[in-house]
Structure 1
Amino acid sequence: MMEKIKVGIITFSDGRPKVNTDLLEINKRFQSELSKALQSTNEIEVVEAKEIVSKPSIARSEGLRMKNEGVHLTIFNYAVWAFPHFSVIASKFAPGPFLLFGNVNPQYPGMVGMLAAAGALDQTGVIHKRVWGDIKDQKVLKQMLSFIRAAYAFNSLRGQRYGIIGGRPMGMYTAVPNVDLWNSIFGIDIDHIDQYDVVRLSAEVPESRAEAGLKWLESHVKKVHYDGKQLTPEKLKLQIKSYHAIQKIIKDNELDFAGIKAQPELTDNFATMDVAEAFMNDPYDWEGTHEPFVFATEADSDGALTMQIFKSLAKTPVLFADVRHYEEKDNFFDLCNSGEHATYFASKSFNPEENLKKVELYPEGFYFPAGGASVRHIAAPGHVTLARLTRKNGKYWMAILPAEFLDFGEKKNEEKAKATQIEWPHAFARLEVSADEFLSTYDSNHTHGVYGDWIDELVDFCKIAGIEYKVYKK
């Protein structure tokens, strides 16, 4: 569903013509081995330099080749001693950030070449990461992939458009973006859209389209808890129409990700946006498959930005949740926020049938008098990485939290859900640090995450972006 990362490789050599000629086949072999290893991951499309760089003109031409080929980032490859000014020249033309790779080749001073180039790039302020070793070593490949994914995620943000539907929700400072920082650090454009467009465009959605969505939900979810008041078929159809209205807003405004205020205007007077929030973030809906679209509740913009970074890294739906409650007995946080969790998290599957058989639609509670369905389930167990971009004294930093989603069994899960909010979705998360350490330093009521270990990628992302980070790990 997602594009491959396009990576350029430029290999540098000795600037003395005779030495370069003697080393030509060695350099080509190491470049080829690196290219094959990266392409074997099925994540990466490689663009190899046509010439080994042995003079300034080739450094310029190969750097320009990478730019013209549209690579997302460039690897500078060193297997032998290489004149460092070649790397500096290439960095002026090739797309960065740059990964400097020093191969294991002890008979030739490749590590010397990498370090000399790295020092020169540091002196000239060029962002890069250094990796050294045998590309056949999985640990080395993992290091490279971490930076490649992070660089891709960072560069992919540039030129994107984020839409805020509504304004600041319920006085949350942490939900409001800093337009200048978003543009200067990430290159993102921000647009503001009135929530009335959701109401207006919902009325234009054909009844037959909403009816088809209703039947699909009723036939696929575990149960719809109609109560004749807060949740009725008509109210659920209005939520479905709202979902399609938001799709049109996104298309018409050419948005890449978005957030919606909802509270209190829509949740008091129209309907909750839970169905839209869940299925926008999902990889499917009642009309088929689609790419997950990051859509944050409460117009939490820094939350949406964190989610967009996660989506680029993991290529899966991303969780959005309140840090609702800490239970000391079983040492976990209940991550719970209205119906915002994508249904993907119910079974960790891209198959809607697998997830929806564990999803229930509950009537909204007293917080939302306009009514509607809350999309409710318990997140599937597994290792996750949680994170959050936030600001302190006008500067960004990222909290990175390795965690585990827990499954206490159906009966105990229900008991724990009832202890907070039975009708909302839950993820029972056990962190690797104490509740005291987390609660005394974490700067938001919201958190976000995906399955798997993405700590290295997030750290690399922060280094590329030039922002601080804290890994909450023992």
Structure 2
Amino acid sequence: MSYIQKPSSPAVPVIGLFAPCDPRIDDPSRERALNIAAMTGRILKTIRLPGGERPGIYVAERTVERESDADAVAYDFKKHGVTVLAIVPDTWFYPGKTAMALTAHFRDAPLCCIAGNNAPKPGVVGVDAVVGAYAQTGRLCHAVIGTMPEIGQDPEFDAKSKAEIVDLVWAMTAAAWLRGKRLLCADTDSMQMETALNHVHASRKFLGVETVRESMKLFADMIHKGGGYDPKELKELYKWTVDVQWKGRIYPDIEAICAAKSPIYTAPHLVKPKPLTAGHKAKLEEELKLYLILRDYMKATNAVGGGWTSQLAWGSDRNGTPMACADIAEALFNSTFDHRGRKAAIPFATENDVQGLLTMACQSALTGGEPVLFADYRKVYEPWEIQKKADELGIALDPQSAYMLRGTIDMDNSGSGSLDWCDQSILFEVYKHYFPGGGFSTGYISPGGIECQAGRLAYSDLTGTFTMIQGEAESVELPQPIAEAFAHASSYSWPHTWITFKHVPASITKYGCPANHMHMVRNLPTRRWQYFSDYTNILNFQWEGTQKFTEGVDRMEPMLYRISGGETLAKLRLAGK
């Protein structure tokens, strides 16, 4: 047995690949089968996990031809911590004596079958046999039947096949990686929306995710006592905040800016920031303390994400003592840099929206830690409304632009807007009527042309499952006067990203967001999500008027669903409904 890639830490899964074979084949065929398994393993080195981690990739050095081989490889896989399984046949094999005998040792491991569509000693026949057998037992086994040379000892999959293999095994690896991971959730969801509830048991059942449910009093006490952070680092963070990251771009008195409708985003030279008072500086420092305290607390509990509520008890309920909001902390967690330089983006949900946080954790796992944009689904602008504003301002629009064809959505939120979704950001003092505890929020307008998946998980008591509502989308760049007008129509000082779905008009999407927040991530292929949703038993909603399947974009429906009434019925049965 040998590693193609050793796991970067004990916290990541190990992918095990093996080649089941017909015991009647010749030695050159065995050699080719083992070479294909190793070649497939090398393809998987593309997979990345959050925090710069990489999974282990371990390939069996013997073919699996009978039960004794299956046991020997299974025991070795267990010894090396294998938790994800890939069956890689190049010849016919007896499923019950080989693949199924081996995988019986790993009842809960994500499982797939990968082969070339080859005629000699056809492994594809074995794929059909074993996938069908697993399906009849109720076990999910996705398959990729790709293209490679049918002869030769060292064939390679073509580029199209490699991409599909990576999406499949990345999804399996992400599902395995999430198991046992932990999220910090501070008190209740701050908007009492119910859609943000922490579904503890469902999160465990489908994703294997745990939550650290901690009271905000603990963190308030740390701030008041001056504990839980390094005072020297606080000074460094404060200096970086005012002299580097937001130098010359910290604006107090947001109410005056909004009253004057000042174009800070597109013409900041027209409005010079007022100096910060001692009170402003104290609140800014309080806010930065919270970032350091939460960062170190999450590290101490091995949390891979978190949620915080700046409203109600923490920052807006005057029955208590309102504290500075957490907006800067939330933005920095979701970004790939801070005062220390480059760092991993950590999914962090404003308003302690735990369903949103679960969405972000999944998106992060499936993209190797891409920074996820958390935002309110604030306002839909249909093409007629954009045209109306353009006419008011005397601006000509391109009728073929994405926002004029399908409209756009103002994704706008005070807290968790990742700084990786803008070219330059601004700090604004918070709205005092909204956050009487004070502090500062990040604000920006995202550039156009950012391609992403935009969506959100939602839980249903009726089905006992999570459902994902999402679609391929892109950010759009509105003409500057329209961008300023639309930003001022909303919460001006918060991050604004105008998102247009590629296949769904904005007039339809306004009915489809299952909560007040939506989450966007780059570099997540649709089928990678679909594979992941199968291994975590998450339902997928199909938008009105969209095509159900596009080859090369969507994953092929697995045999388990084909013989069990389709995806929805099969998943409901698997969920126990």
Task: Check the 8 A contact 2:171/2:532 in 1, yes or no.
Answer: yes
The alpha-carbon distance between structure 1 residues 229 and 321, as it changes in their structure 2 partners (threshold 3 A), is farther
Q: Number of aligned pairs?
A: 462
Aligned residue for 2:129, secondary structure, equals: helix
TM-aligned CA distance change 1:369 to 1:41, over 3 Å: closer
Quick check: 303-312 or 363-372, which moved more?
A: 363-372
In the alignment, is residue 92 of structure 1 matched against residue 104 of structure 2? yes
Query: What's the offset of the Cα at 1:107?
Result: 1.9
Q: Which residue, out of 201, 207, 227, partners 2:222?
A: 201
Q: Structure 1 residues 185 and 38 mapped into 2: Cα distance closer, same or farther (>3 Å)?
A: closer
Match of 2:297 in 1: 249
Q: 2:74 aligns with which of 63, 82, 89?
A: 63
The equivalent residue for 2:150 is none
For 2:490, the aligned partner's letter is T
Kindly indicate whether residue 36 of structure 2 is the aligned counterpart of residue 30 of structure 1. Answer: yes
C-alpha separation between the residues in 2 aligned to 1:451 and 1:378?
17
Aligned equivalents of 2:348, 2:30: Cα separation in 1: 51
The equivalent residue for 1:226 is 252
Q: Which amino acid aligns with 2:452?
A: V
Query: How big is the shift at 1:422?
Result: 1.2
- CA deviations on 1:147-176 (whole Å, 9 max, x unpaired) are 111111111111112221111323211111
Q: Give the gaps of 5 or more residues in structure 2.
A: 1-7, 49-53, 148-155, 254-275, 317-321, 387-402, 548-577
2: CA distance, partners of 1:465 / 1:87 = 22
Match of 1:310 in 2: 363
In structure 2, distance between residues paired with 1:264 and 1:418: 25
Aligned-partner Cα distance in 2 for 1:127–1:200: 49
Contact 2:366 2:524 in 1 (8 A): no
Change (3 A) 1:437 1:38: same
Query: 1:397-420, CA deviations, whole angstroms, 9 ceiling, x for partnerless residues?
Result: 111221011122545433332221
- State how 1:84-163 maps to structure 2 within 5 Å: 84-85=95-96, 86-94=98-106, 96-134=109-147, 136-163=157-184
Give me the whole-angstrom Cα distance separating, in 2, the residues matched to 1:396 and 1:39: 30
Displacement of 1:379 in angstroms is 2.1
Q: CA deviation at 1:230?
A: 11
Asked if 2 retains the 8 angstrom alpha-carbon contact of 1:9 and 1:77, the reply is yes
AA at the equivalent of 1:429 = I
Equivalent-residue separation in structure 1 for 2:279 and 2:111 (angstroms): 54
Residues 180 and 208 in structure 2, CA contact (< 8 A), matched pair in contact too: yes
**How far does residue 125 in structure 1 lie from its aligned partner after superposition?**
2.5
Structure 1 Cα separation of the partners of residues 279 and 414 of structure 2: 15
Query: Using the alignment, how far apart are the partners of 1:102 and 1:114 within structure 2?
Result: 7
Tell me the amino acid that sits aligned with residue 343 of structure 2: H
Q: Is the 8 Å Cα contact of residues 303 and 447 (structure 1) preserved in structure 2?
A: yes
> Is the CA contact (8 Å cut-off) linking 1:405 and 1:430 kept in structure 2?
yes
CA distance in structure 1 between the aligned counterparts of 2:126 and 2:475, rounded to whole angstroms: 45
Change (3 A) 1:341 1:132: same
Q: TM-score normalized by structure 1?
A: 0.91
Preserved CA contact (<8 Å) 1:27 1:79: yes
Asked if structure 1 preserves the Cα contact closer than 8 Å seen for 2:350 and 2:416, the reply is: yes
Aligned to 1:186: 207
Decide which structure has the larger Cα Rg and report it: 2
Is the 8 Å Cα contact of residues 46 and 166 (structure 2) preserved in structure 1? no
**Partner residue in 2 for 1:211:** 235
In 2, the alpha carbon distance for the partners of 1:119 and 1:243 equals: 51
1:294, 1:318 within 8 Å by CA — same for their partners in 2? yes
- Find the aligned partners of 1:374 and 1:295 in 2 and give their Cα distance: 15
**Percent identity for Structure 1 against Structure 2:** 24
In the TM superposition, residue 445 of structure 1 has moved relative to its aligned partner by 1.1
4+ long deviations beyond 6 Å: 2-5, 40-44
Write the distance in 2 (CA, Å) between the matches of 1:458 and 1:317. Answer: 16
Which structure 1 segments of 5+ residues have no match? 348-357
CA distance in structure 2 between the partners assigned to 1:185 and 1:230 by the alignment? 49
Paired position in structure 2 for 1:369: 436
**Greater strand fraction, Structure 1 or Structure 2:** 1
The root-mean-square deviation of aligned C-alpha atoms, in Å, is 2.4
Are 2:186 and 2:307, in contact at CA under 8 Å, matched by a contact in 1?
A: yes
Q: Which residue of 2 aligns with 1:351?
A: none
Contact 1:231/1:364 (8 A) holds in 2: no
Distance 1:8 1:102 in 2: 15
Counterparts in 2 of 1:231 and 1:62: CA distance versus 1, 3 Å? farther
Contact 1:169–1:175, Cα closer than 8 Å, also in 2? no
